[in-house]
Amino acid sequence: MKVNKLLIVLIMLFISHSLFAGGFALTGVGSRATSMACAFRGLSDDGSAVYWNPAGLGFLEQNSFDLGGTFIMPSSK
């Protein structure tokens, strides 16, 4: 039984890189960065720098807190 669980975990690890659950590519972290068409990587002066360019965090002069979300309503036809 233990071997079966290990085998299942290994299969999941090796196959999961090629699976796309819903086909969603949600790369829009931060409304400002999204509106700048990804040119934000060179600027990175707010909390979303954690995603776009972590080196930009060294240039932050204040503390910040960012909260984001994405609403997805799937439908099929």
Distance CA 44, CA 57 (A): 7
Give the range of the structural domain holding residue 53, as residue numbers without chain letter.
28-60
Q: Which of 23, 54, 49, 50 is nearest to 36 (CA)?
A: 49
In a domain, 67, yes or no: no
Alpha-carbon gap, residue 28 to 32, rounded angstroms:
9
pLDDT digits (tens, 9 = 90+) for 24-75: 666 667 778 878 876 877 887 787 888 888 888 888 888 877 777 777 777 6
User: Does the model's pTM come out above 0.85?
Assistant: no
How many domains would you assign to the chain? 1
Q: Which residue has the higher pLDDT, 23 or 38?
A: 38
Q: Would you state the torsion angle of the CA atoms of residues 71, 51, 47, 65, taken in this order, to the nearest 10 degrees? A: 50
41 falls within a domain: yes
